[in-house]
Structure 1
Amino acid sequence: MKYIQDSELLEKIIQQYHVEEMFDQTKQLPFTLQQYTPDEIILLEGMEMQSLLFLVEGKVRITSSIATGRSLLLRFIHPFSIIGDIELIRDVPVQSQVQAVNECLLIGLPFDYIKQYEIDNPKFLHTLLEHVCYKLQTCTTASRVNLLASVENKFASYLMSTISAEPNNNFGIELTTSNIKEMANLLGTTYRHLNRVIHSLTQKNIIERDKNSIRILNWDDLDKASNGIRYK
């Protein structure tokens, strides 16, 4: 992570997402602008969190560890999302691992400042409530998916959520296969089982797999295979 010292960019982003509207505008807010590289860990479970984070650019993956030491995929988040609302209100350590999928920009606002000046601000609390309710909705969906959906459903959903659901969008249309074992862990299955699912989807000409990547060939059939599930 590195801090971006660019006041003009910070101000532009703040205005773009109307961030200041939820705070007391009579004070100078001590925002920071933070940049993360692809696959970089933003937050680890159990660490003490110091700032509320606002995702303003990029995609982030949220996972939760289980007793076996493996992790389960909860959701992907996109701008504009708030990270750290539960930790702020409940005064608890970080509850889930947060990892950048691609290059990400986040705005940070220190907890100490919020607790001193904004914790009783109705506009700010209303915004937090909206995000917490959406987070509860997505976590409920993720729990149902992890318990009840087939591996094919979950893998198809992972592809639809990770790459792009727009056939004309070439960004990220390929997924590298170097992390199949990690992917299997996130989906709550084994490496062998996931390989069988990938082979099955390849045989149906829904995806194409070579040594280093997976490419989506048929978005409509992949969508059907996902059974409408999305990790977001």
Structure 2
Amino acid sequence: MKEIHDRQQIDSYLKDHQLEAIFAGPLSEHLSLYSFDQGECICSKGDPSGTLYILVKGKMKIYTTTAEGRTLIICFKTPLEVIGDVEYIQETEMLNTVEAVSPVQTLGISYVMLKKYGKDNPALLQFLLEIITQKFYRKSDFLSLNLMHPVEVRLASYLLSISFDESDPSFTGQLKTINLVDTADFVGTSYRHLNRVLQKFCRDGLTERSKGVILVKDRKGLSDMARRNIYE
């Protein structure tokens, strides 16, 4: 994580995402701008929480870990998304792990400043309420529908999510084959079955395995298989 000292860029993001009325006055003055490299962890499940992050550029992956130690993808998010909102309200440690899929920029403000200048701010409280309710609705929908989809649909959706960022056409991600065990966990299947599905994708010309990475060769074909991306 790197802090970017650019007040003009902060003001530009506030305007672009219609946040000027929410983070006004002292709240705006205490906002910072941070950048995260592709693959960098923004926060980990169980970490102490202390900063509210607002995703304003790039794509991030949100996942959780079960009591058995398995990981399960929850969703991929593009702007506008907030990290640390539930933890701020509940005063808890981080509930999920968040990782940058593409280069990411976030606005950030400490909980201390939020409590000092935002606890009686109706615009901020309404903003947090809307964000949190949307999150719980999406999570409920995900948990009820995700595992009902065939592995082919889940894997197609996952490959699309890690390989493309609609807000950054220049970004083309790759899945390293060394991460296939994690990928199997993310989409809720076994490593062996994941390999079988990937082999079928390669035979059908959807993907290609080359030099330790998996490349998407037919984006439209994967999109048609996924029907709609269940992770976004």
Partners in 2 of 1:23 and 1:157 — Cα distance?
A: 35
Q: Is the 8 A contact 1:165 1:219 kept in 2?
A: no
- The more displaced of 24-33 and 125-134 is 24-33
Partners in 2 of 1:183 and 1:116 — Cα distance?
A: 42
Name the residue aligned to 1:14: 14
Partners in 2 of 1:205 and 1:101 — Cα distance?
A: 24
Instruction: Give the partner amino acid of 1:74.
Output: I
Task: Specify the SS of the correspondent of 1:171.
Answer: coil
Kindly state the Cα deviation for residue 210 of structure 1 after the two structures are TM-superposed: 2.2
> Structure 1 residues 27, 205: CA separation in 2 closer, same or farther (over 3 Å shift)?
closer
Kindly state the Cα deviation for residue 61 of structure 1 after the two structures are TM-superposed: 0.6
Q: CA RMSD in A?
A: 2.1
Instruction: Give the partner amino acid of 2:101.
Output: V
Task: Specify the SS of the correspondent of 1:214.
Answer: strand
Partners in 2 of 1:10 and 1:165 — Cα distance?
A: 22
> Structure 1 residues 165, 32: CA separation in 2 closer, same or farther (over 3 Å shift)?
closer
Instruction: Give the partner amino acid of 2:177.
Output: T
Name the residue aligned to 2:141: 141
Q: Is the 8 A contact 1:146 1:188 kept in 2?
A: no
Task: Specify the SS of the correspondent of 2:30.
Answer: coil
Q: Is the 8 A contact 1:160 1:230 kept in 2?
A: no
Q: Is the 8 A contact 1:4 1:35 kept in 2?
A: yes
Kindly state the Cα deviation for residue 28 of structure 1 after the two structures are TM-superposed: 5.5
Kindly state the Cα deviation for residue 133 of structure 1 after the two structures are TM-superposed: 2.4
Partners in 2 of 1:229 and 1:194 — Cα distance?
A: 18
1:71-90 equivalences in 2 (<5 Å): 71-90=71-90
Q: Is the 8 A contact 1:138 1:231 kept in 2?
A: no
Kindly state the Cα deviation for residue 105 of structure 1 after the two structures are TM-superposed: 1.0
Instruction: Give the partner amino acid of 1:120.
Output: D
1:67-106 equivalences in 2 (<5 Å): 67-106=67-106
Partners in 1 of 2:11 and 2:165 — Cα distance?
A: 31
Matched, 1:224 2:220: no
Aligned-residue sequence identity (percent) comes to 31
Partners in 2 of 1:43 and 1:218 — Cα distance?
A: 33
Partners in 2 of 1:114 and 1:139 — Cα distance?
A: 26
Partners in 2 of 1:211 and 1:24 — Cα distance?
A: 50
Structure 2: gaps of 5 or more residues: none
Name the residue aligned to 1:119: 119
- The more displaced of 189-198 and 113-122 is 113-122
Deviation per residue, 1:51-75 (Å, 9 max, x gap): 1111111111100000111210000
> Structure 1 residues 203, 12: CA separation in 2 closer, same or farther (over 3 Å shift)?
same
1:1-232 equivalences in 2 (<5 Å): 1-25=1-25, 29-164=29-164, 169=169, 171-172=171-172, 174-232=174-232
Q: Is the 8 A contact 2:165 2:171 kept in 1?
A: no
Task: Specify the SS of the correspondent of 2:195.
Answer: helix
Runs ≥4 residues deviating over 6 A: none
TM-score, normalisation: structure 1: 0.89
> Structure 1 residues 27, 170: CA separation in 2 closer, same or farther (over 3 Å shift)?
closer
Instruction: Give the partner amino acid of 1:116.
Output: K
TM-score, normalisation: structure 2: 0.89
> Structure 1 residues 23, 219: CA separation in 2 closer, same or farther (over 3 Å shift)?
closer
Q: Is the 8 A contact 2:43 2:97 kept in 1?
A: yes
Q: Is the 8 A contact 2:53 2:82 kept in 1?
A: yes
